[in-house]
Amino acid sequence: MAQRFSQYSYLVFDLGDVLFQWSSVTKTSISSKTLRAMMTTDIWYDYECGRLSQEECYSRLAQRHAVRAEDINEALLQAKDSLTADYDLVNFIRQLKQSSPHLRIFALSNVSRPDFDVLRLKPADWGVFEQVFISGDIGERKPNLGAYRHVISATGLDPHRAIFVDDKLENIFSAESLGFTGIQFDNKVNVKRKLLNLLCDPVSRGNNFLKANAGKLDSYLGKSMDDAIVINENFAQLLILEATNDRSLVRIVESKNEMGLWNYFHDRKCVVGKDEFPYDLDTTSMAHTLMKGEGNPAVAHQVLNQIKQHLTEDGLPLTYFDPRRPRLDAGVCACVATFFYAYGRGGEVPQMVQWLHDILVNRAFINGTYYYIHPEYFLYAIVRFLEKATDSSIHSRFIPVLRQCVQERIGVPGDALSIAMRIVVCNYVGIRNDVDMEKLLQLQCEDGGWEMSWVYRLPSRGFMVGNRGLATAVAVKAIQGFPPASSSPKVLQAMALAKRLPPFRTHFFVLLLIAVICALTLSLSRLYQFN
């Protein structure tokens, strides 16, 4: 992914209504509407390009709009007096320059020489620009292609490595037709976000966000963000830990239950109800799987035995270790099956494995599961399962249908977490998903994190739980695992297969691949000699 983020070496900014704000409301007889209308006429355009003097321009405008030239002059003087630089945005541009010394920054503005001379006297950090191009000097104005070609010729910039920022869509369109990447200025926050996402490494920014918020990557409970409250829970923390492998980022309250059971909440006397919240199979399975090297294996096997004793008649696990809450969820089933395979007991849960496969084949996950909102969470859970189920027969059953399922999801609208999970699954099965990666990169926020995504729901109460830290952690994981652009589909699938194989099988696979390549090379060389 590094190549994608070293792509841009040039920034070209508009001035008016981007870096400088002004008001068309004046204390004259000329209304704001009339003044702006004057500035979209052929007369004004000729003035901006230096083909008319200021006096000629005002005289012709006065005649056309039946007003006095003196009033036009006074209105424009007041408008120019209102010009104010956006110091915050200019400072942001300077920071971009400091963090990327290779970046060359220019300005291209539709403004006459007399008006620019006034603008140039305004307090602003003009030193941020290597050069400022104005229509009054070059004799061309945006959106005419000649204006952009002049900048390209004068600076030697490659438009395919340049970003153009302007408030007018027609100006953006012309720039993009020549190869520029365009950003239409709507508001400062969005523009800063888009520039950071185009110019800076998303992985470094995402990791910096996670580290800056270490121990505070809390989940939120509510029916919407407007009424959401912070809750202290373990499951999202475990998912973050799994995605990052960094214990310092999360707050986990380990189980003190002598049976080895874990609770979703840090405190069983949680905000959801008056009774103590029951221990659940999802959190318990995730914790024992993730912390296998830290815990007592005997305790883990004790938990597995207890789970087996409480399966349904179909051989499936329920969500809670409380028989009064008989809740069946496919995401929980995937987590429990992963737990069994992690401890070498996958052969004991064939009905779970069959159900997971049936869910994929019949696309039962398409609207999410009982608790999990996104279809992608189930696919992500299947990847977790396959990472522990090293049995080749399991992989030969699951990988083809998993690939089909995730291919069908490519490009489907979603939030940051669902898109990131989709990409993780694509990476796993050897699909380079450029469509969703482009969207994921656009969703990164100015502070380096991704916006909060809802993860699971409490159906009986209508609540949802979301976590911004989880969305960010999985997004970073998705980007880090994204395959190189040069890889063919066959190579991607081979790379994915190599990653899925156990170490000894991986070595064998690599040696076999080398042998095949050598054999093909030898055959081709002999064929060449024969011809």
- Do both 325 and 472 map to the same domain? yes
Q: How confident is the model at residue 485 (pLDDT cuts 50, 70, 90)?
A: confident
Residues 156, 151: Cα–Cα separation, whole Å: 8
Domain limits at 20?
2-199
- Residue 125 in tokens: 């950090």
Residue 412 has pLDDT above 80, yes or no: yes
Residues 439, 436: Cα–Cα separation, whole Å: 5
Return the higher-pLDDT residue of 111 and 500: 111
Pairs from 114-122 (Cβ < 8 Å, separation ≥ 24): 114/54, 115/80, 118/80, 118/83, 119/15, 119/20, 119/80, 119/83, 122/20, 122/83, 122/84, 122/85
- At residue 16, the 3 state secondary structure works out as strand
Q: How much is the pLDDT for 276?
A: 82
E strand or H helix at 21, and its extent?
A: strand 20-21
* Range name among 290-304, 356-370, 501-515 with the lowest pLDDT average: 501-515
Ramachandran category for residue 348: left, alpha or beta (phi over 0 → left; psi -120 to 50 → alpha): alpha
Q: Is 133 in contact with 109 (CB distance < 8 Å)?
A: yes
Tell which of 199, 214, 249 closes a domain. Answer: 199
* Range name among 163-167, 262-266, 447-451, 458-462 with the lowest pLDDT average: 458-462
Residue 525 has pLDDT above 70, yes or no: no
Where helices occur in 389-467 by DSSP H, the ranges are 392-409, 416-429, 434-442
Residues 244, 207: Cα–Cα separation, whole Å: 9
Q: How much is the pLDDT for 527?
A: 47
- Residue 113 CB-density burial (10 A; 0-12 exposed, 13-18 middle, 19+ buried): middle
Q: Say what percent of the chain tops pLDDT 90.
A: 83
Q: How much is the pLDDT for 293?
A: 75
Q: Taking residues 232-249, what's their average pLDDT?
A: 97
**Cα angle at 390 between 387 and 391, to 5 degrees?**
140
Give 217-268 as a DSSP string.
--EEEESSTTS-EEE-BSHHHHHHHHHH--GGG--------TT----SBSSS
For 243, 337, 380, 398, 428, the CA distances from 387, given in Å and listed in that order, are: 13, 11, 11, 12, 10
Q: Taking residues 370-377, what's their average pLDDT?
A: 97
pLDDT digits (tens, 9 = 90+) for 124-147: 999 999 999 999 999 999 999 999
- Do both 422 and 295 map to the same domain? yes
- Do both 435 and 509 map to the same domain? no
User: How many domains, the chain?
Assistant: 3
Residues 375, 271: Cα–Cα separation, whole Å: 27
Of 268, 236, 242, nearest in space to 255 by CA: 268
- Do both 520 and 406 map to the same domain? no
The pTM assigned to this predicted structure is 0.86
Q: How much is the pLDDT for 1?
A: 46
What is the domain-level CATH number for residue 31?
A: 3.40.50.1000
Residue-averaged pLDDT of the chain = 92
Residues 153, 333: Cα–Cα separation, whole Å: 62
Residue 505 has pLDDT above 80, yes or no: no
Q: Taking residues 504-514, what's their average pLDDT?
A: 52
pLDDT digits (tens, 9 = 90+) for 16-53: 999 999 999 999 999 999 999 999 999 999 999 999 99
Return the higher-pLDDT residue of 99 and 383: 383
Tell which of 199, 214, 243 closes a domain. Answer: 199
- Do both 518 and 409 map to the same domain? no
Return the higher-pLDDT residue of 471 and 1: 471
Q: Taking residues 236-254, what's their average pLDDT?
A: 97
Residue 507 has pLDDT above 90, yes or no: no
Residue 509 has pLDDT above 80, yes or no: no
Residue 6 has pLDDT above 90, yes or no: no
Residues 266, 230: Cα–Cα separation, whole Å: 12
For residue 527, which phi and psi values (nearest 5 degrees)?
-65, -40
Specify the length of the chain in residues: 531
- Do both 391 and 360 map to the same domain? yes
Q: How much is the pLDDT for 267?
A: 85
Return the higher-pLDDT residue of 485 and 53: 53
Q: Is 254 in contact with 305 (CB distance < 8 Å)?
A: no
Q: How confident is the model at residue 209 (pLDDT cuts 50, 70, 90)?
A: very high
Mutual angle of helices 503-530 and 489-500, in 10-degree steps: 150
Of 481, 500, 479, nearest in space to 427 by CA: 481
- Do both 195 and 258 map to the same domain? no
Q: How much is the pLDDT for 296?
A: 87
- Do both 249 and 315 map to the same domain? yes
Q: How confident is the model at residue 530 (pLDDT cuts 50, 70, 90)?
A: very low
Q: How much is the pLDDT for 531?
A: 44
For 379, 398, 431, the CA distances from 434, given in Å and listed in that order, are: 18, 23, 9
Q: How much is the pLDDT for 11?
A: 98
Q: Say what percent of the chain tops pLDDT 70.
A: 89
Residue 499 has pLDDT above 70, yes or no: no
Q: How confident is the model at residue 492 (pLDDT cuts 50, 70, 90)?
A: low
Of 343, 353, 358, nearest in space to 317 by CA: 353
Extended beta strands in 286-388, E state: none
Of 143, 99, 113, nearest in space to 6 by CA: 99
- Do both 183 and 218 map to the same domain? no
- Do both 106 and 226 map to the same domain? no
- Do both 418 and 432 map to the same domain? yes
- Do both 314 and 417 map to the same domain? yes
What is the domain-level CATH number for residue 454?
A: 1.50.10.20
